[in-house]
Amino acid sequence: MYIKKSFLVIIILILAAAFLLLFVQNSNRESHINEEYVNAEEFGAAGGDDKDDSRAIQAAINFSAKEKIGKVKLSGNHHFILKNGIKVKEGVKVELGQNTKIFVEGNFRAFELMKNASIENGTIEVTKAEFASDVIYLNGKERFWSHERTRIHNVAIINSSGTNSGKAISLYSKGADHFISFVNFSDINISGFEYGIHILSEKYSDDQFSFINGNRFTNITLDDCLTCIHIDSSITIPNESSGNQFTGVQLQLTEKTERAIYVSGSDNSFEAMIWDPQVAEEGKPLVEFSKSSMRSYMLTNLDSDLVKDDGDSNRIAQYSQQ
């Protein structure tokens, strides 16, 4: 009889412990819902081992979007591994801790943002030589506009593989009424890519327009990229990239750099300090305004012989001439 009672007590204690654990887990999740964020670690993102965290991070984003919570957090001082791409759903902000790192291991688009989605803080680092895709990608089919809150802020985007391949930030538009407009990119460090910032608006048809206009790039540092900033489009519709503003830009050139800035479209403006232009190939311009550029403006430290202007009514000024 004593043994039976002891066994019964043990069963009760085990059930009580299991109930308590379940209660604590549910309480933690509920507290995060109340605080309007989801912790990706609750969905299995370990943040410290060598396992792929892609599925767990995507699950946290999907849950946040479905429940209209609006924020997913990746804890500080941890590292997470992506072996598959992530789609940041509409209305969700992915917030990394200040010292959090995401390692991109493979050749795939790391983060594709839907409209009204954001990424803030931390470091996204490409570690594999086979990478030749985009780290952060926006497609005009989402129709980004001023009433959305799409934003990339306080992020370092690094290619440490040594290959200088891929694009750190890529904006692309091709389709009927596809556009990316009034998105804010701020306080971003980019290093080691083929293209630091790549903007491409391609022609869809003569009477259906696509454009990438009016975006702001503020306090951007680009280092060791083959082309730091590249804007490619027609001068105007049907496919244009116009009115984009780059302010507080610092470009650190290296011996690998082929071009600092390439400009098409109209009314794009740049305020850019370009470091160590002497590393450029002799006689080769570092800044080029293409034949498809018009009324664009650049304020820079570069000498005029390092700027090639094949466009119409563009204006280049040195800081001393301001």
pLDDT tens by residue, 72-127: 999 888 999 999 999 999 999 999 998 999 999 999 999 999 999 999 999 999 99
The pLDDT, as a whole number, for residue 16 is: 56
The pLDDT, as a whole number, for residue 77 is: 86
Cα dihedral across residues 140, 218, 280, 292: positive or negative: positive
H/E segment holding residue 23: helix 2-34
Question: Which residues share a beta bridge with 191?
Answer: 158, 223
**26: CB partners within 8 A, 6+ apart:** none
The pLDDT, as a whole number, for residue 195 is: 98
Going by pLDDT thresholds of 50, 70 and 90, the confidence category of residue 6 is low
Distance between CA atoms of residues 187 and 120, nearest Å: 10
Looking at the predicted structure, is the pLDDT value of residue 23 above 50?
Answer: no
> Dihedral angle at the C-alpha atoms of 261, 147, 141, 297, nearest 10 degrees?
-20
Express each pLDDT in 175-197 by its tens digit.
999 999 999 999 999 999 999 99
Looking at the predicted structure, is the pLDDT value of residue 205 above 80?
Answer: yes
Distance between CA atoms of residues 29 and 14, nearest Å: 23
> Residue 229's CB: how many other CB atoms inside 10 A?
28
Going by pLDDT thresholds of 50, 70 and 90, the confidence category of residue 26 is very low
9-13, 28-32, 94-98, 299-303: least confident range: 28-32
Express each pLDDT in 47-78 by its tens digit.
888 899 999 999 999 999 999 999 999 988 89
Residue 129 CB-half CA count within 13 A: 2
Phi-psi region of 243 (alpha: psi -120 to 50; beta: other; left: phi over 0): left
Q: Is 12 helix (H, G, I), strand (E, B) or coil?
A: helix
**9: CB partners within 8 A, 6+ apart:** none
> Residue 283's CB: how many other CB atoms inside 10 A?
7
The pLDDT, as a whole number, for residue 28 is: 45
Question: Which residues share a beta bridge with 118?
Answer: 93, 151
